[in-house]
Amino acid sequence: MEFMEGSEPVSPTGQYFNNSVLSVSIICVLESEVPINDAHSISLLNDVFLPINPRFSSVMVTDEKGDKQWKRVEVKVEDHVNVPIFPAGLSPTSYDEYLDDYLSNMAMDRLPQNKPLWEIHIFKYPTSNAAGNVIFKLHHSLGDGYSLMGALLSCLQRADNPSAPLTLPSRPNSEPKSDNRSAWTRVPQIFRLIFYSLSDFGWSMLKSTLVEDDQSPIRSEDEGAEYRPITISTMTFSLDRIKHIKDKLRTLTTNDVITGIIFLGTRLYMQEISHKSSKAHSTALVLLNTRMIRTYKSVKEMVEPDSESPWGNRFAFLHVSIPKFKDAESLDPLEFVWEAHKIIKRKRSSFGLHLTSRLLEIMKKFRGPEATAKYIHGTLRKSSMSISNMVGPAEKVALANHPIKGLYFMTVGPPQNLTITIVSYMGNVRVTAGIEKGFLDPQKFKSCMENAFEMMLKAASIETLI
């Protein structure tokens, strides 16, 4: 490597996600409407992608004090671009299998440490969903989903009018309500806050060290799940229909409904595989963006020193118990939505996340980043699944004049048998499941998710009539 001047300290989270214990990356797939012409890919990466952030031109090194630093290097873009070759003239379903195997192999391979931690893969063969696929693989130490989605948006243009600015997606943020009650009447609320904060913090510690989820059809208890091949399965739901459910139930958010659908679909799958597992104790790690702002900012704004939406890894894990089937015959699908809403709302408002963050800082200071990474590894391994959600573009976008038909992403490298990701795009919600091959049944899992969605729609309509 030829080093250049300038370095930047690696954030603690960046160190936790890139070491001998844990290596987590994000795979993002853009489905092209037209056959891919990669003639200008190198110039596009040099002129548009690399200038987004210095980390795309940096490697992680250890300085003389033992601290991790991002060190700038000369980048040979050609070394980061991969164009796989497969037999020509096959059917789209055959290329579906090639793409699935290719993504599975990509998920298992760690990014090399001797060059910047990203790759581009151009799959030029027509599949059932697209005329071609452009695949980004970016290491999680470069930034979280918020940062990397912002970087992706910087590379895209509006498909209908490339010269017009791309509408940056946002999520509504309710204003805090003023509390005119006296200090005395707020005492019970303060005590509840303290109790829930300590309870959430204590439960998080137990779940990361001693208490494991039950073995179930979605959790094998075997070590080394991060090293085994996966199948990436996607399903698409109408955002308008999800909002219809939300509106019928009032007071809830779109994320509450989506999370409830995933919880219900997961329990349906578990019960189909093993009836007794419908009572198994299973926990989902729900990733929460801890930035105060909920609107995407431009990359230029993210890298400003005092940015309110800074680049980097700013997220936390919420331990959310997947509701159990109380009585299969009198099952109310909406209970899964209400339960998800209640737990997530309460945990977001407590100080448990801040206490856990402080614990990780203390652990890193006295025991080092590797020991802290082992703690996070335990947090992931002892739970049954993780769920992360991103808001994508509301309008059709294009990459280098290639209209994007659909997009999805997957987090790879966590020691779990099941990972769920969600992204919205053009009025649809794409739910993607990273499923360990040979352990979960991807077709049955997808069918259960679709059944859960239909059950939720039907139940919401009945609730309205009542």
Q: What integer best gives the mean pLDDT of the chain?
A: 86
Q: How many CB atoms lie within 10 A of CB 270?
A: 26
| 242-280 per-position pLDDT tens digit | 998 988 887 678 888 999 999 999 999 999 999 888 789
**Which domains can be identified in the chain, with CATH numbers?**
3-158 (3.30.559.10), 189-395+414-465 (3.30.559.30)
Q: Which two tokens stand for residue 385?
A: 């699944």
Ranges of beta strands (E only) in 34-92 are: 58-62, 68-73, 81-82
| 421-464 per-position pLDDT tens digit | 999 999 999 999 999 999 999 999 999 999 999 999 998 886 55
Q: What are phi and psi of 28, to 5 degrees?
A: -120, 125
Confidence class for position 175, pLDDT limits 50, 70, 90: very low
DSSP codes joined into one string, 245-285: HHHHH-S--HHHHHHHHHHHHHHHHHHHH-GGGGGS--EEE
Cα of 219 vs its chain's centroid, Å: 19
Report the predicted TM-score, pTM, of the whole model to 2 decimal places.
0.90
Is 404 in contact with 33 (CB distance < 8 Å)?
Answer: yes
Most confident region among 10-14, 60-64, 94-98, 208-212 by mean pLDDT: 94-98
R_g of the chain, CA atoms, integer Å: 22
Half-sphere exposure of 372 (CA within 13 A, CB side): 21
Q: How far apart are CA 270 and CA 263, in angstroms?
A: 11
List, edge to edge, every strand of the sheet that includes 58-62: 3-9, 68-73, 58-62
pLDDT at 117 over 60: yes
Confidence class for position 215, pLDDT limits 50, 70, 90: very high
Q: Which two tokens stand for residue 319?
A: 């331990």
DSSP single-letter state for residue 195: H
Confidence class for position 354, pLDDT limits 50, 70, 90: confident
DSSP single-letter state for residue 341: H
Between 187-209 and 334-349, two packed helices, what is the crossing angle to 10 degrees? 100
